[in-house]
Amino acid sequence: MKNIVILISGVGSNMAAILQAAEQERWAERLNARVAAVVCNKPEATGLAWAQSKGVATAVLNHKSFTSREAFDEALIGQIDQFFPSVVVLAGFMRILTPVFVAHYAGRLLNIHPSLLPAFPGLNTHQRAIDAACQFAGATVHQVTADLDHGPILAQAVVPVLADDTAEVLAKRVLSQEHLIYPRAVADFLRGLSGPLQSPTR
């Protein structure tokens, strides 16, 4: 069985979209894959209760309990690897990952970013698209590399930027497309995997 571990920091709407797709499209039967766990860095995140309601294992690792980003990521690796992941999916996980973490899951770490990469990496993507008078915006699913918001692109969705858009309105339009393309991209990625991730010796 190919195990998926999803990392969240809040509501986890993309996590929910992936879980719903896994159930409705019978990933266990068709892809030999399942969402094995949802891991979160914020104990108060509402997405945890939603995942638990679907019978998915959850774990919380509060980043505030660690003295450094490196120490947190090392502990996070240990937590994730308990579930023997084939793929690790970032779904609103609001942490900049260390090179050690990215290297540990090299080739099997996915993210979704709310812009049409390579345009507008980083934060405030919707306002930046409006300020640049873009006619189109969107979202990108990509493999994670050591460079922030770079890596091989797996899927993109395009939405129009309307004349009266605010960043909040545009964000909702983009998010609706994220919920469509992220589960599809994860499923496509799983089809190309042979089995569980073998953790490298550290």
pLDDT of residue 198: 46
Please tell me the pTM assigned to this model: 0.94
Point out the residues that are catalytic. 113
C-alpha 31/C-alpha 153 separation (Å) is 22
pLDDT, tens digit, for every residue of 15-43? 999 999 999 999 999 999 999 999 999 99
pLDDT, tens digit, for every residue of 174-199? 999 999 999 999 999 999 975 544 44
pLDDT of residue 202: 37
129, two tokens: 């698209």
Please give the mean pLDDT across all residues of the chain: 94
pLDDT, tens digit, for every residue of 37-78? 999 999 999 999 999 999 999 999 999 999 999 999 999 999
Check: CB of residue 4 under 8 Å from CB of residue 86: yes
What domains sit in the chain, N to C, each tagged with a CATH number?
A: 2-191 (3.40.50.170)
pLDDT, tens digit, for every residue of 94-118? 999 999 999 999 999 999 999 999 9
C-alpha 41/C-alpha 56 separation (Å) is 17
